Amino acid sequence: MTPSTVVVGVDSSTQSTKAAFTDAATGRLLALGRAPHRVTGGAGARESDPEEWWRALGEAVAAGLRESGVAASAVTGIAVAGQQHGLVVLDGAGRPLRPALLWNDTRSAPQAAALTRALGGPAAWTERTGSVPVASMTAAKWQWLREHEPYAAESAAAVRLPHDFLTERLAGVAATDPGDASGTCWYSTATGAYDAEILGLVGLDERLLPPVAPTGATRVGSLTRAAARRLGLPEGIAVAAGTGDNMAAAVGLGLGGAGLLDHPVLSLGTSGTVFAATRTRPASPALAGFASADGGYLPLACTLNCTLAVDKVAALLGLDREDAAPGGEAVLLPYLDGERTPDLPAASGVLTGLRHATTPRQLLGAAYEGAAVTVLRALDELVRACGLDPADPAVASRPLRLVGGGARGRTWVETVRRLSGRPLLVPAADELVALGAAALAAGAAGGRDAVEVAGEWGGGGGTEIPPLPRDLATWDRVTTAIAGLTGDG
């Protein structure tokens, strides 16, 4: 059945752009157009040309329109969810002055440390912005630009995040949302506005920044004639403020004020990420205290070593990633790239408890356990930031939503199940960022709450897996090893 109204949710990630053509009434994915873009740089540098994002958006929309078979006239709204933190500097005509500095560009680590000290330490930043500066945050990247390329900083007529840049190309107006803005470290989650003192600290004129819309689903404008011609979509359709990728994924899962609050999500990818939508403003230096796309908060913690690190251990052992067994006495912390949570940037992999009887399959299982316990410890901190006790049976019985590539792996699912003691829910939807962006577009087109829309679409539904008794013996072995690295033991 051909839908009467269609919305387009755009996921502009680090490597590619996806355009999800979605039935606005049911949330059914009609087509997913894709187009790649490039990341360049070495020795810590990671950059992309924003004009490539714009080209890729046009190609992805064109591909999705062809694949869906729907008439362009059926499309009523569009929203962009983009990679967070990237720094885009524009000239007076809206053209990039230089390639964008991406979230994973680590050259700004010294500037992040200096900014942390300049405001009085981690607690001061957490109180103001919800997050402590690290190399990924936009404020640190702007400071790097000021120090290393002062001409570009001084010539900037506008400063944008990646999704802001694309939204402005669509609607012809500058706009951002609280969620993505909260990843800059110059937006205050305490006041819901840009922080004048921090802007002064980094020498940034607020007039260069886009206005902050109330939510990511706020209609900030209409598709311009030029953008409509470029995309092959109707002029005048609703353009939402859009948001960051993590915030959009939360919307896609139905997390927020009009949906589920304080229900945790664990994303198993190259990194391990935990987040939850809450009405409690987080105040933990161990977390990124983001805002959500719907006006609440989205505390988030990220570990560096997850599926990729475990796959590396499997390769070293000559095993398939699923050919694992519980680790027994062995503990393997696969901190192959240092670690972010806990903050151990110089760490490397650690193996203890090795016996003659230890098998290769147990070593691989120990790598799973080390990675899983590390991210589950971050989950406990997240739950506390929501104002809850992780040991409370009523809290621990809430399903843990498992997403990301690892959620499709039997050993990952069973390891998290065994070590968390929680029931799990594996959502059926694969493209949660694009789905969340589509809900934002539907909200903008229909004047509705995007989380409510996503809830009606059922994006958070999926396979429910009952809990197992928690493996506290393994938990204690792994946490003791982690404490030996952090000095907390």
Any idea which residues carry the catalytic annotation? 245
Q: How far is CA 288 from CA 35, 229, 357, 366, in A?
A: 30, 39, 42, 28
Dihedral sign for Cα atoms in the order 416, 418, 419, 425: positive
How many Cβ atoms from other residues are within 10 Å of residue 418's Cβ?
19
d(CA 334, CA 375): 12
d(CA 245, CA 437): 9
What are 364's two structure tokens?
A: 């691989």
The answer to whether 463 and 425 are in contact (CB under 8 A) is yes
d(CA 277, CA 298): 5
Dihedral in degrees, nearest 10, Cα atoms 249, 255, 257, 258: 100
Q: CA angle at residue 429 from 1 to 315, to 5 degrees?
A: 135
What are 417's two structure tokens?
A: 């199940």
Q: Are strands 265-268 and 288-291 parallel, antiparallel or unpaired?
A: unpaired
H helical segments located in 84-194: 109-118, 122-129, 138-148, 150-155, 162-171, 178-181
Backbone angles phi, psi at 395, to 5 degrees: -80, -45
Q: How far is CA 406 from CA 38, 131, 144, 242, 418, in A?
A: 25, 27, 35, 27, 15
The answer to whether 237 and 72 are in contact (CB under 8 A) is no
The answer to whether 203 and 146 are in contact (CB under 8 A) is yes
Sequential DSSP letters for 196-261: HHHHHHTT--GGGSPPB-SSTTSEEEE--HHHHHHHT--TT-EEE--EEHHHHHHHHTTBSTTSB-
Backbone angles phi, psi at 299, to 5 degrees: -60, 140
